[in-house]
Structure 1
Amino acid sequence: MPQSPELLRRLLRAKDRMDRAPHEAWPVQRLAQVSAVSAAYFARQFRQAFGLPPHRYLLTRRIERAVALCRDTQLPITEIAYQTGWNSLGTFGRIFHDITGHSPGQVRAGGPLPAQAPECIARAARRPDLDSAVSEKRRGRAAGTTEPSTTEVP
């Protein structure tokens, strides 16, 4: 069932708030208040509209920002973690590695992609892979598989 334009505007309002301040805490209840809908309804409709649950979308924004800060600045990794919304350096490092496949220090040392790559390709290569949950990736690595499970539990 297609979503109404009014609902999409409300969902975009919440998404825009997360985009402007990804370092802030954005529990589903707070996002639902921004959208003026219930929390459960918001979570279902957000996923339908944008293809990701709200929490995973926020993780995407935080990690994208952290990758950019690692590559483009000389800020300490601890400062990058705090600027991107993480309260624990250990959690930041673990999730960063789970999503990107590299530690923040490795990303910093890796340098930019070759200059001949078009900007759209370079951005796509730097975008975190969040097609599967972080816990699914960890389970796959522990089981010795390299590809995450394609089934998701709603």
Structure 2
Amino acid sequence: MTSKTADADRLRDLALLRRVRDRMDRDYTQPLDVAALAAGVHMSAGHLSRQFKAAYGESPYSYLMTRRIERAMMLLRRGDLSVTEVCFAVGCSSLGTFSTRFAELVGVPPSVYRDDPVLAGAQVDTAGLPACIAKQVTRPVRNREARTPGPDLA
């Protein structure tokens, strides 16, 4: 295989991966699995998972759950839905998995996040910020400290 062919294949794969990522962003409330996403771009599930992780630094499942948690954070900040309602509204089918993943990414359980205005971002004023910056500021980041006991707790 020549380098031009390899480059063309890589660009084609990146375009397909972008389609998969865009589908997850658009259809996050739908039941999505790697096999269905892979079939949509005519790849095997294993190839899609490997290529997606190489391109975006996380597995398709992890990316989808992060998108769902981002949307959940917004709904919880509004305060008019219960945690269970938010869980199902963002496409999760298990409250336990949703709560665990939420706490893993945000650092607190969704019920605590909903009830605490400081945690829910009441102090983060995104008015006047470009959308790309506002998204960065409010994006959940994996909270390793929440999962790993410190030296005094070990």
TM range (shorter): 0.7 to 0.9
String of CA shifts for 1:50-98, please: whole Å, max 9, x gaps: 1211111011101000001001241121110001122222222222112
How far did 1:105 drift? 2.6
1:22 to 19, 23, 28: 28
How far did 1:49 drift? 1.4
> Residue 43 of structure 2 corresponds to which residue in structure 1?
37
| TM-score normalized by the length of structure 1 | 0.76
Structure with max Cα Rg: 2
Aligned residues: 140
Say which SS state the counterpart of residue 86 (structure 2) adopts: helix
In the alignment, the residues of structure 2 paired with residue 56 and residue 145 of structure 1 have an alpha-carbon distance, to the nearest angstrom, of: 28
Kept in 2, the 8 Å contact 1:66–1:80? The answer is yes
RMSD over aligned Cα atoms: 2.8
| TM-score normalized by the length of structure 2 | 0.76
Unaligned runs of 5+ in 2: 1-5
Moved over 3 A (4+): 114-123
> Residue 90 of structure 1 corresponds to which residue in structure 2?
96
Q: Please list, as runs of the form range in 1=range in 2, the aligned pairs for 1:110-129 lying within 5 A after superposition.
A: 110=117, 111-115=121-125, 119=129, 122-129=134-141
Unaligned runs of 5+ in 1: 147-154
